[in-house]
Structure 1
Amino acid sequence: MRNHPWWPWVKRIVGTVFVAAVAFLLVRYARNVDWGEVKQSVLELPRSTLMTAFVFAAASHLVYSLLDLVGRHYTGHRLSKRKVMQISFISYAFNLNLGSLVGGIGFRYRLYGKLGIRYSQITRIVTMSMLTNWLGYILLAGLVFTIAPLQLPPHWSLDSEELRMLGVGLLAFSVVYLLLCAFSPRRSWTVRGHEIELPTLRMACAQLSISCTHWLTMAAVPWVLLQGQVDYPTALSVLLMAAIAGVILHIPAGLGVTEAVFIALLSHRIPEHQLLGALLAYRAIFYLTPLIAGALLYLKVEMRTRKHAPAA
């Protein structure tokens, strides 16, 4: 089917209609929200709660910056660990707010390229970073959906047992990946001219450890801001669902999508104005603050590379 010239247009039209429908529902919902109560909920968040949320957000971004160290080991390039972590942090900050094409991919190609890394190596770094991030997601989602499946709203057709079965499938995928890394006699494949090497078991364990820690600390931010109104496994489950929804819809920063998923899954347990207040604080802490820091760091890196560039 993909060989038909009309297939890309069909996917584009379906995607556009879906995004438009989500936008329409969000706008209609927003008209019924008491934004005065939402504002008051944000202002009433205790300073200690906000500081704790900032600490978890900083820890999550720090852990994420370790992802490119896996790529450094995987490709064997010699950039310092500090520079690699800087590039990873900048890319992630822009990725969260502007989308993966600009942030996760574009910024890595520009910054690594300026520092002398070959494009073939950058491609492998980008691939390894994205793979590591989602491998941890799959393992963590498998664990939480299997061990502590989310109690879905009563009107949902999907129930907790079906969510548990999904978790078992995700766990099975993670186990297969680890077994391949440990025992597969074939260690490399060529896909569209690019050689893909299977990591060692030790590297695979490092991938999962870093990525899972990133997702765990990320989920701790909205959990803290909700001030104990839901338990941590519930906050983690909802965040994982919101993350995959944002990826499917291809909306930068998941604008509206994250809020919609949290509202759909938790509004029967938490007053909506409190839920929205916590989510607005979460977006400011986890998305906007790192974006400002990432932009300043990017300008510093650009100025430094231009200063040391050879004269034409």
Structure 2
Amino acid sequence: MIIRLKGIEKKYGNIQAVKPIDLTIEDTFVTILGQSGCGKTTLLKMLAGLTEPTSGEILFDDKTIFSKSKKINVKPNKRQIAMVFQDFGLWPHMTVFENVAFGLRGKVPKSERADIVHDALLKVKLDAKAVMKPGELSGGQQQRVALARAIAINPKLILFDEALSALDAILREQMREEILAIVQSIGAQAIFVTHDQTEAMTMSDSMIVMDTGDVVQTGSPEEIYHTPANPFVANFIGKTNWVEDKEKMIRPENVHLYPHTNTTLRSGVVKKSTYEGDRYVIFVETNGQLWKFYDHHPHEQGAKIKLYVEENHIHSLRKQEA
């Protein structure tokens, strides 16, 4: 499905939550990434039909889902969309089976619901928990129930609103893989809202980066990481070393202790080393700036150091913006 947003915006009085956006979404798994309050959840809810845009149009393929000028606003339950929320949104008094079946009411004959629910629970590996209540499940299992409820209605598009933020680090990583596999298995598209850069980079076919209500860059994770459009994106996605007062930048992995092909030399003083499990991040003061690079061992604070920079990996933001 091709999703087109034409001049979509949202105002709350004098507050511009989402600035006018023109956007085309075609990839299978798309992440909307940004800081809290940037407008990403508002944009997601406008796609879902839970929030009415102030102006603009939304099209799914060639069908107009919303148009302010044409006075079209297709109801949420008619958009073939499912949504998975941050707080799971489960009914505590219902069993797992009943929670998954809830979204099928009015859409599927009662005689067919049981098979659909059991199939959805099998996909999320919860078929043995069908008679339990949400309060008897772990956080990860509750998230799977919410996902089963979403896929049971056979949606064309699944929207995830910070869906993994309530889980611990190990469960989050596990659920990322499961969500990707399930979305792929049912042939749906997914739009996943998050503020977690690692989540966005590892899950996405393409990313939409937002800042203060505006889409500031779109592209593949590789494109956004290596060629950020502006200083906000450069700082928000990964670690950054500035070469010329936020006009040129280089990533820490392209800074070395020994000469490589096409490298230049910079001298500095080690300020600190921090441990990240598989490596150390070394902070070095050079030319009045604090740079970062990676090494397998820490460096002594105050030690003088020589750094070699790969010239072909220096990215000019002026060129990008032009």
In proportion to residue count, which structure has more strand? 2
Question: TM-score range, shorter-chain basis?
Answer: under 0.3
In proportion to residue count, which structure has more helix? 1
Normalising by structure 2, we get a TM-score of 0.24
Higher relative contact order (CA 8 A, sep 6+): 1
Normalising by structure 1, we get a TM-score of 0.25
Give 1 or 2 for the bigger CA radius of gyration. Answer: 2
